[in-house]
Structures are given as structure tokens and as C-alpha cells.
Amino acid sequence: MTDALEVDGLSVRYGGVTAARDVSFTIQPGQSLGIIGANGAGKTSTLKALMGLVPRTVRSVRFGDQDLTRVPGRDMVRHGIGYVPEGRHVFPGLPVEKNLLLGAYTRRWKGATLDTLDEVYELFPILREMRGRLAGALSGGQQQMLAIGRALMSAPRLMLLDEPSMGLSPKLVSDIVGVLKKLNERGLSMLLVEQNAQLTFEVTTECLVMENGAVAMTGTSESLRQNPQVRKIYLGL
Amino acid sequence: MQVFLQTFIGGMSLGAIYALVAMGFSLVYRTMGLVNFAHGSVVMIGAYIASTFYLSVKLPFALAMAVAIGVTGLIGIIIERVLRPLENKDFDLMLIGTIGFGIVLEALAIIIWGATGRAVPSPVPAAPIDLGGLRIRTYDLVVLAIAAAATALLVYFLQRTKRGAAMQAVAMDHQAATAVGIHVGRSNAMAFMIGAGLAALAGGLVGPLLYVSPAMGGLLGIKGFAGAILGGFGSIPGAILGGLGIGVIDSFAAGQFQGYSELVTFLIFTVIIMIRPTGIFGERTVNRA
């Protein structure tokens, strides 16, 4: 039921600086793909550009039999793509539940959407407890859960995650990893952008390594984990 | 005591109108981070349209007001649509653009209605009603009731409807709002439209209290803006309190200092703002990232 996402020739330029150059990849149905790389390697730009949130050039973006090449950012969610931004970006002045419902902005706020809300609350029980609290008053980890929950509310078939581990304690990181694995097992395709290579290898089956805005290496997560160069640079071993 | 209360209620009535203007300023500011300098002129256009349909077309007062709200709402949408290409590109130009729209609207008003202005008779009996010894202008009560109803509607829209929630989301985070599927431009247009509608409501209501003239926009714009700042710019409850506050200060200053009343009002305003620069409810900052 899920579709393959095929991205061909994605580039991002800010002024005279090229943030991402000719990035191409495919995410198979139900697969989780990782993008790792150092700070400034172009991972976040790639993701934002894919989501249509920054100006980009791209040869084509296809999701199953849909052509998303010219779809504006605000309509990506209508094609089944959920987005968890770097730095969480919850709506701080709105209650937790309003944040989640806004994730389902493209759906009607009743029936199946409320079932999804229940599923999100089951996934993150703390959010149910905090449902009336303002999102800005949550801890970093809770905000990350909220950001993931918000993306799930649109019932996406593919979820783009940008640095979900950033600034979280090891305990929370492993909680998030557990949730991501669970979602993936349920058939949700994922694109995970991370500086934390360890985490990425654990959640994904295949990875791109980005350096200076371009894809430097690709391979299965398992083979990359064994790769001496990757071990040295990204795992610090 | 009696004089005190009568002055107070008169001030509340004028303040309710300032509050409507202030809410328009704050709504657009919190959504877009933009001060709409054309807002005062929209109030003036609203006052002219309402009074024209009331006096010349002989529509009932409420209906004339509805027409004014509709037309200015459209003006609000046009202003946003023209300025939209500048958003995220040149914010200063956008600001100057609103000033330009203000000048155009004022010039249009002079062309259509002339430079002299007009007096609008009260739609309700001018005789004051007697409430336990207090003599209150009936029209003041009408103004207060309508302003309260409009405020309640706005709060309901923002708190209880999906589009209202979306508008707040846009105010807090453009990118996250876009990612969940909200059309930011359309949401901004709606904020402008509602702001302009509130301006027309204020303009229509103020007609029987002040003189309707092309220059009235400046005065009401400044008072409404001061109200919004006093309450905390961007805050809706702040705009209400701030507007009422300016109205009451205004009313007492007019009673005590006559010709110097404006000076006194803004002096008090300045002192309060020096003590509390963020205004009464001012804490939040607008995230334009």
C-alpha cells in the first residue's frame, strides 16, 4: 500500500552557496533510509528542499505514481508525507492537543482523526497527560514527541525526520529510537536525517553519507557501520 | 462621584472603539509580524461607507455597518495580496507599502466624499437613560455591547475553530504551519480581512461620536495603536484592555485639561510604557523564522 519515493537531482543554493548538490535517492515502500553527515553537510537542506520549504532545483520527485516535482510545501502533507522539523518547531503558544490536531489540518477533526489521536497518545502517554498544557512549557524530549506525534496525525505514508535526537538525553534518545522502530515495523516509510550515526544505523536499513553538500557514500546501514572510514569519522571508534 | 462614573462610562465607550482598532493592529501583527500603517485609513473608509449607506442610501444603521465591514474586508484582502510578494523578501518595503496604502485610501476618500467631512446623527434616541441617578448616553451602551460581541466572536474564532487555530499556528511558526498543510498566504489574507472588518466596525461605530472626515484615520489609528502597545503588542486581551485604558484616560483628560487633553493622554501613555515597555500582556515575541 505504501509507495516508493524517488528523488532525482535535488540541489539547494542559498545566495552563492550550494548547500546540497545533485542529491538522488530512492526509499522503497516501508523502508527507512538514513542520511548522516557532519554539521553543515547539507542534510537538513536536503530534507527541507524535499519538503518544498526552501527554494530548490530538482529533476524529479516521484511518490508511487504521483509526480511531486511541482507540488508546493504546504501540499506535501496532502500526498502522504509527514515532516518532523529540526529543532522540533512545535506551536509553543498552543496546547498540546491543539498542536496534534493541527497536524491533522488536512483532515476533518472527527472520526478517524480522533482514532489517530488516540494512537498517538498510546505511543506517547505523556502527551495525553499534558494535553492541556502549552507546548512551549514542555521539556525538550516531550516537544520532540509532540513534533513526531503532530506529523503522525496526518496519517502519513512516509515520514521525514530531521535530527530527532538533537539535545536529548541518552534515555530519551533510546525511547525515540524505540518509537521509530515501532512505526517502521507498522509499515511507515522513513527518511531519517541525523548527526548521530549510531542511532541512524540502528533504525535504518540503508544510508547516505553526505559531505560538503553531496552524497559521498551509500550502502546498507550494516556495511557502513563496519566501514573503517565511517567508523573513524562518524562513530569516533 | 456621579460625574466620575459618567466620565468613566463615556471613556469606556470610546475605549471600546479604540480596542476594536487595537485588535485589528494586534491580529495582523501577531500573524505576520507586520504593523499595518494603513489600518487607521481603513477605519476612516469604514466610517465613510457606513455613514454613506446610513445617511444617503437610508439603510438601517446595522445594515450600513455590515456593508462597510464587507467592503473594507475586501480592501484588507487586496492590501495583503499586493504586499504578499514582499513577504520573506523585503520586510521594510512591506511596511512602507502599508503606509502607501494608507495615503492612497485617504486620497480616495477625499476624491469620493470631499475634504470637509460630515456629522452622523445617533441611530438611537439621543436622550440619555437614567440608571440609578447615572445619566448615560444610550449610544454608549450600544457601542459597548457591539464591541463586546465582536470581541467574543473573534476570541471564539481564534480559540475554537480550525481556521482560527491555523492562524495562530502561522503566527507562531511559518514553516511548521506550512508543513502541516496550512496555506500561510491565505491565512495572512484572512487576518488582514478580519483586521479590516474590525476597523470598519470601529469606524462605523465612531461616526455618531466624532466627526467623520478624511483625517479621522490618523487620530483613531494612533489611539488604537497606542492601545495595542499599552496592552502588549500582538496580544488580543491586551488590545482590549489597552484600548479601553486609552479611552478612559482620554475621557478624564478631556474633562480636566480640555485643549491639552491629547498631550496629557500620551504623556500618561509614555510614562506607563517607560515603566513597562512590553505593555500589560506583552511577553511573546513573534517568530518569523
A176 in the same domain as A147? no
Domain presence at residue B251: yes
Using DSSP's 3-state secondary structure scheme, residue B181 falls into coil
User: What integer pLDDT is reported at residue B289 of this predicted model?
Assistant: 36
A74/B181 Cβ within 8 A: yes
What are the beta bridge partners of residue A165?
Answer: none
Tell me the C-alpha distance between B261 and A200, whole Å: 68
> CATH number for the domain including A23?
3.40.50.300
User: What integer pLDDT is reported at residue B255 of this predicted model?
Assistant: 84
Alpha-carbon torsion A12, A18, A20, A24, what sign? Answer: positive
User: What integer pLDDT is reported at residue A84 of this predicted model?
Assistant: 97
A140 in the same domain as A44? no
The per-residue pLDDT for range A117-163, each reduced to its tens digit, is 999 999 999 999 999 999 999 999 999 999 999 999 999 999 999 99
The per-residue pLDDT for range A162-172, each reduced to its tens digit, is 999 998 999 99
And the C-alpha cell for B163? Answer: 481556521
Tell whether A132 is within 8 A of chain B (Cβ): no
Domain presence at residue B280: no
Q: Which helix (H) or strand (E) holds B134?
A: strand B134-136
A163 in the same domain as A140? no
Alpha-carbon torsion B68, B74, B75, B76, what sign? Answer: positive
- Percent of chain A at pLDDT above 70? 99
B172/A74 Cβ within 8 A: no
User: What integer pLDDT is reported at residue B283 of this predicted model?
Assistant: 61
Contacts of B42 (CB under 8 A, 6+ apart): B24, B72, B75, B76, B105, B195, B196, B199, B200, B203, B217
Average per-residue pLDDT for chain A: 93
A161 in the same domain as A151? no
And the C-alpha cell for B46? Answer: 469604514
Distance from CA of B258 to the nearest CA of A (A): 43
Burial class (CB in 10 A: 0-12, 13-18, 19+), B9: buried
Domain presence at residue B75: yes
Among A110, A140, A155, give the residue marking a domain's end: A155
Tell me the C-alpha distance between B148 and B21, whole Å: 13
A160 in the same domain as A75? yes
Contacts of B269 (CB under 8 A, 6+ apart): B226, B230, B246, B249
Domain count, chain B: 1
The DSSP code sequence of B191-259 is: HHHHHHHHHHHHHHHHTTTS-B-TTHHHHHHHHHHHHHHHH-TT-HHHHHHHHHHHHHHHHHHHHHHGG
Q: In which domain, by residue range, is B259 found?
A: 2-275
Which of A84, A91, A101, A160 to probe by mutation at the B interface, max B CB count within 10 Å?
Answer: A91
> CATH number for the domain including B180?
1.10.3470
Write the single-letter amino acid at A20.
A
A199 in the same domain as A91? no
Contacts of A115 (CB under 8 A, 6+ apart): none
Tell me the C-alpha distance between A163 and A107, whole Å: 27
User: What integer pLDDT is reported at residue B134 of this predicted model?
Assistant: 82
Q: Which helix (H) or strand (E) holds B15?
A: helix B2-32
The DSSP code sequence of chain A is: ----EEEEEEEEEETTEEEEEEEEEEE-TT-EEEEEE-TTSSHHHHHHHHHTSS--B-SEEEETTEE-TT--HHHHGGGTEEEE-TT----TTSBHHHHHHHHTTTS-SSTHHHHHHHHHHHH-HHHHHTTTSBGGGS-HHHHHHHHHHHHHTT--SEEEEE-TTTT--HHHHHHHHHHHHHHHHTT-EEEEEES-HHHHHHH-SEEEEEETTEEEEEEEHHHHHH-HHHHHHHS--
Q: How confident is the model at residue A2 (pLDDT cuts 50, 70, 90)?
A: low
Angle at CA of residue A164, ends A210 and A178, nearest 5°: 110
Domain presence at residue B23: yes
User: What integer pLDDT is reported at residue B287 of this predicted model?
Assistant: 44
Domain presence at residue B47: yes
- Percent of chain A at pLDDT above 90? 89
A76 in the same domain as A1? yes
The answer, yes or no, to whether residue A57 has pLDDT greater than 50, is yes
A75/B179 Cβ within 8 A: no
A62 in the same domain as A1? yes
| Top-confidence residue, B264 or A236 | B264
A69 in the same domain as A182? yes
Domain count, chain A: 2
Instruction: Nearest by CB to A105, from B172, B180, B284: name it.
Output: B180
Among A155, A176, A199, give the residue marking a domain's end: A155
Domain presence at residue B281: no
Q: In which domain, by residue range, is A32 found?
A: 1-80+156-236
The per-residue pLDDT for range B226-244, each reduced to its tens digit, is 999 999 998 899 999 999 9
A179 in the same domain as A114? no
Chain B residues whose beta carbon lies within 8 Å of the beta carbon of residue A150: 180
Domain presence at residue B151: yes
The C-alpha cell 474586508 sits at: B73
The DSSP code sequence of B25-48 is: HHHHHHHHS---TTHHHHHHHHHH
User: What integer pLDDT is reported at residue B220 of this predicted model?
Assistant: 94
What are the beta bridge partners of residue A219?
Answer: A207
User: What integer pLDDT is reported at residue A170 of this predicted model?
Assistant: 92
A147 in the same domain as A109? yes
Residue B285 zone, left/alpha/beta (φ > 0; ψ -120 to 50; rest): beta
Helices marked H in B56-206 — which ranges? 61-83, 91-113, 138-160, 162-172, 174-179, 184-206
**If you average pLDDT over residues A192-221, what whole number do you get?**
93
Q: Which residues of chain B have pLDDT under 50?
A: 284-289
For residue A156, the chain B residue with the least C-alpha distance is B180
Among A155, A186, A202, give the residue marking a domain's end: A155
Chain A residues whose beta carbon lies within 8 Å of the beta carbon of residue B173: 89-91
The per-residue pLDDT for range A62-116, each reduced to its tens digit, is 999 899 999 999 999 999 999 999 999 999 999 999 999 999 999 999 999 999 9
